[in-house]
Structure 1
Amino acid sequence: YARYGVEFCGNTTIPDDAKMARFVKEYVSADDQCDLAKGLWSLYQAHVGAAQSMSFSERDQLLLIQGLYVGLEEQTRLQSFINESLPGYMVQWCRFWPTRNVTKCREFLNKIATELIVHLFIGSHRLNTDEDVPSGMHNGSNFSLFLTKLANPEAYALMAAMLNQTTLQLKNTAASDWNILAQRMRFISAVFWVFQDHEDLNCYLFSAEQDLLIRTDQSDKLDPQSWFQICDRDCCAANGRWDGLN
């Protein structure tokens, strides 16, 4: 992503597909088919399309596709580390299990670990991964105005595959065992869908006065208690929030 920014975000002219193809081949994947490559292509399409009168809904669906592919790539790479960290995959935890079937022990311990320690903090929200992703997070609506309907066939198909659903909804998105990749992606994909364009994640972290001090290399004059603000509803209300219009 950092390299993408260097290559594409400082351009004064719209880049072409050939440049993106060279970028992916050099920095990501020679065959252009890995999940990370697919995600970056979706980012590029949203980026370039935004300069060519693409609608907000079309752009946001491409960004959602990007998040799903890159999230899958990341979680796949993390799988072995998660296997080693959750209690059910530490043999010593199961040595006192009453039967020789340690698979049941692992499932039991991973379920307990998922319930007790695997929580996600997003903006002012705490999400328990063993519960369905909450509904009504956008002032009573489940999703932003631009993602209420996934009209992009790839976005719909990819979300359906991640949620393992034919009718897309937030029900049955909870994970009982965070060690299982399919369960993690089911929950994470729903989180991406809900929180993309959410006001808690698209507002200014700093006031106009703070921003001016930072930009003019005077951050030492900031009140130490206000150096970092959690971007919650009050922060958004005070400092302005992105509304999809500019």
Structure 2
Amino acid sequence: MSRTDAEVREPGGGVPPVVGEVEEIAAHADIVVRNLRITHCYHRLARALAARTGGAANWCTFAVWASKQVGQTIRQEDLVRAVERLLKSSPEVAAGVDLVVRGVRRAVPRQTLDHAHSVVRQAVVATARLDDVSAAAARGNLKVFEEIAREFARFLAEFGEVSTGRDGRIREFCDALRPGEPPEGQRYLRQAFARYHRAMTTRDEKRRAELLFLANIEVGLHEQTRLQPEIAGALEAPVVDPRELEQRLFDLLLPGNRVVRWLRLVLLTVLGRRAAVRIASEQLADQARRVVREAVTRHLMTLSLPGGEVLDLSTDLPATFPPLLTELADPELLELLRIVDPTPDSVAGTAARDWADLLGRMHYIADMFRCHAVRADLLDPPFTAEQVDALQAGRRPDGVL
């Protein structure tokens, strides 16, 4: 086996995924397992293309870690904990919780009253519609994968073996993509794959680095434009409906069968506290909505990379440009950067203050692509061999995901 073939193959003898496998993964019914398989598939695509382009990062390289981060949102692991932390630390929410507890105090059993504040916060988390955030993240993860991963698989199947003199074939490949602007058109993908092809055949390292960087931005711009509805949906999902919150509060704070709960509610009414509880629930719902949205926004604006590095996308990118990309020369690259990068040749101002702002996201993403273009550990496997075996069997793996 040649060195190039060895680099393309994964540890364990795997080969780059083909279009049929991408389609099979996209059709998987379990959204958790599907996300994990998507992440692993991106890894295989990233390694295959990197082996043909000098080991540098491509769009799939970054998609691995973005998809892995999305998996945490889909599984709601860190998100629930983040919401709980912010609810507990917010003075406004604490005051609202205390108001609710005072309202129901006389109708609540003593053993329940002892931990009533915790129960109220639990009710807030339960009514925050984090399932809607998870569903929006899963939709976006699938939407991007079933379109873009399919084209990377098609590209590698067609051009996996590096050879020159195939300009006609790359034109045919790109012509199969839709013309026009995103979200429906695929102009940026057409341009990006033509550049990936040139990066596979050029011997000029500087030229290759700039071609890859430009292609990565073009795929990223297409992806982020397509994702705009899902990102907005995830940010807008937390509602905390006051009526739903009030009902959940009564379910948790007034234990017993239906008759007992009804009697306790009658007692609240007789004591003149039922209206006070409703008002307190409405105020708490307003306060909690703000806090939960803040938690969701922070969660969506976090990206974990290999080695335990965690990027906070609301702060300027803590990195520098590699030598090959310190000074840029490609005119088409410079033209696109004028659109997406308002602070040329600097990571200053890359902080994305509003993740729903497309160009704000692209500013951070473009500089992240540039800074980490030759970072070798981004090609490390996102999962262990045992976890991959479980995924290939269609099961959710054990261990940290």
SS in 1 for 2:362: helix
Q: 1:7 to 1:15 in 2, by over 3 A?
A: farther
Q: Is the 8 A contact 1:176 1:183 kept in 2?
A: yes
Superposed CA offset, 1:210-230 (max 9, x none): xxxxxxxxx9xxxxxxxxxxx
Q: Is the 8 A contact 1:114 1:130 kept in 2?
A: no
TM (normalized to structure 2)? 0.41
Residue 327 of structure 2, aligned match among 127, 135, 149 = 149
SS in 2 for 1:120: strand
For 1:79, the aligned partner's letter is Q
Q: Residue 92 of structure 1 corresponds to which residue in structure 2?
A: 239
Q: Residue 127 of structure 1 corresponds to which residue in structure 2?
A: 311
Superposed CA offset, 1:179-216 (max 9, x none): 111111111111101000024335x76xxxxxxxxxxx
TM (normalized to structure 1)? 0.65
Determine the C-alpha separation between the residues in 1 that align with 2:295 and 2:208: 39
CA shift, 1:164, in A, is: 2.0
Q: 1:114 to 1:187 in 2, by over 3 A?
A: farther
Q: Residue 10 of structure 1 corresponds to which residue in structure 2?
A: 161
SS in 2 for 1:127: strand
> Is residue 20 from structure 1 mapped to residue 204 from structure 2 by the alignment?
no
Q: Residue 197 of structure 1 corresponds to which residue in structure 2?
A: 374
Q: Please report the RMSD computed on the Cα atoms of aligned residues, expressed in angstroms.
A: 3.5
Superposed CA offset, 1:54-113 (max 9, x none): x21110100000000000111111111111111xx248359979xxxxxxx99x976664
> Is residue 68 from structure 1 mapped to residue 214 from structure 2 by the alignment?
no
For 2:196, the aligned partner's letter is L
CA shift, 1:176, in A, is: 1.2
Q: 1:168 to 1:161 in 2, by over 3 A?
A: farther
> Is residue 81 from structure 1 mapped to residue 259 from structure 2 by the alignment?
no
Q: Which runs of 5+ in 1 are unaligned?
A: 98-104, 136-141, 206-218, 220-246
For 2:326, the aligned partner's letter is T
Determine the C-alpha separation between the residues in 2 that align with 1:68 and 1:94: 40
Q: Which runs of 5+ in 2 are unaligned?
A: 1-151, 243-281, 284-288, 382-388, 390-401
Determine the C-alpha separation between the residues in 1 that align with 2:224 and 2:217: 10
SS in 2 for 1:92: coil
* Larger CA deviation: 150-159 vs 108-117: 108-117
Q: Residue 187 of structure 1 corresponds to which residue in structure 2?
A: 364
> Is residue 47 from structure 1 mapped to residue 200 from structure 2 by the alignment?
yes
Q: Residue 35 of structure 1 corresponds to which residue in structure 2?
A: 188
Determine the C-alpha separation between the residues in 2 that align with 1:110 and 1:184: 18
For 2:222, the aligned partner's letter is E
User: With CA pairs under 8 Å and 6+ residues apart, which has the higher RCO, 1 or 2?
Assistant: 2
> Is residue 158 from structure 1 mapped to residue 336 from structure 2 by the alignment?
yes
CA shift, 1:24, in A, is: 1.1
Q: 1:6 to 1:191 in 2, by over 3 A?
A: same
Identity of aligned residues (%): 27
Determine the C-alpha separation between the residues in 1 that align with 2:362 and 2:217: 8
Larger Rg belongs to: 2
Q: Is the 8 A contact 1:67 1:192 kept in 2?
A: yes
Determine the C-alpha separation between the residues in 2 that align with 1:41 and 1:78: 23
Q: Residue 301 of structure 2 corresponds to which residue in structure 1?
A: 118
CA shift, 1:116, in A, is: 4.7
Determine the C-alpha separation between the residues in 1 that align with 2:299 and 2:361: 15
For 1:133, the aligned partner's letter is L
Q: How many residues align?
A: 188
Q: 1:59 to 1:34 in 2, by over 3 A?
A: same
